[in-house]
Amino acid sequence: MTVAHGIHVIDTAFQRDHFDAAYLLVHNGRGAFIDCGTALALPRMLEAVARAGLAPDAIDWLILTHVHLDHAGGAGTLLQHLPNARLLVHPRGAPHMIDPARLVAGATAVYGEPEMARSYGQVVPVAAARVVVAEDGHRVSLAGRELRCIDTPGHARHHLCVWDADSRSWFTGDTFGLSYRELDSAQGAFIVPSTSPVQFEPAPLHASIERLVAQDPETMYLTHYGPVHDPVRLAADLHAQIDAMTAIGRACAGRDDRHAALVAALGGLYLERARRHGCTLDDAGVLRVLGLDIELNAQGLACWLDRG
C-alpha cells in the first residue's frame, strides 16, 4: 500500500495479515527501508521495490528501529539482495546484527526451534563493514531527504525512532505501541503499549512517548500496524495504560499463578478500554486480535518485576 510522501506500507505476513509492517521510503529515485520483518518476508520486500519503480541497487538504507526478530530478523537476508544498502541500527543493536547467535538463542528459548523455523526462517549475519551505528540525533540523507534517528528506550534499550520531516511523521517501531485496524472505531485508532520481554522499563517508555509527541507529528507509522493519526490522544492513552499495566504487575507479583493472573488482568484491561472506545468486535474478537500481544506483555511485566 502506498500512502503520502513516497511512503509504502509493506505487510510482511508475519503471524497473520495486517500484523507486522515494514516501510519503504522513496525519494528522487532512491529508497530506504525502515524495518524488514523476518527472512520469510524477503519476496514481499523485493516486490515492494519493484512496485515502487526501483531496482534493488537503488536502495541506500535499511534502518532498524530495534533488533527484535519481527522487525529485523530478515536484515541479513535482505541485504544480500541490496548491493548498495547499508544497515543503520542503534549502537546496542549493532553487535547482534553482526553476530546474531545470542539473539537467535534467546528467541529460541522463548519460542522453541519448530516455531523459530516456521515463523522466522534463517537469521543471517550482516557484514560489519555495512553497519552504521545511529547514536541519538544521527541524521542520514535519502537523496536529499533527511531522516533523523533518536534514542527511544522503554520497550527495549536498543530502540530508536525515525523522524521524517518531509511527512512530519515518526516511524515508531514498538515505542508508540500497537494499533490494529480491526479495533478502530468512530473515535479513531485503538492503541495498546508493548512491554515485550525482556527490557520493558516504564519510566523511559513514558519519556520516549513524550519526546515523540513534542515534535508535533502528523502521523505515527507503527510496525503493528500501519499509520495512525491523532498522536496526542493516543499518547495519553498509552501513558494511562502503562500506569495501569504496572499496577497490574505489582498486584500480581506475589501470586503462585502470576503469569495466568497477568494474562487475565491485561485481557480485562484491554476489553474494558475497547468497549469504551466503541470497538465493534465482540470480546472474543478483541482477545483474538490482541492474544499474542497480551501473552508477550505478560512476559514483559514479569521480566520487569523480576528485575526488581
CA distance 206 to 292: 23
Predicted confidence at residue 210, as pLDDT, reads: 98
Residue 141 φ then ψ, to 5°: -110, 130
Predicted confidence at residue 113, as pLDDT, reads: 86
Q: In the predicted model, what is the mean pLDDT of the chain?
A: 95
Which CATH number is associated with domain 7-230?
A: 3.60.15.10
Print pLDDT tens along the chain (308 aa). 677 899 999 999 998 999 999 999 999 999 999 999 999 999 999 999 999 999 999 999 999 999 999 999 999 999 999 999 999 999 999 999 999 998 888 888 877 888 888 888 889 999 999 999 999 999 999 999 999 999 999 999 999 999 999 999 999 999 999 999 999 999 999 999 999 888 899 999 999 999 999 999 999 999 999 999 999 999 999 999 999 999 999 999 999 999 999 999 999 999 999 999 999 999 999 999 999 999 999 999 999 999 98
269 φ/ψ sector (left φ>0, alpha ψ -120 to 50, else beta): alpha
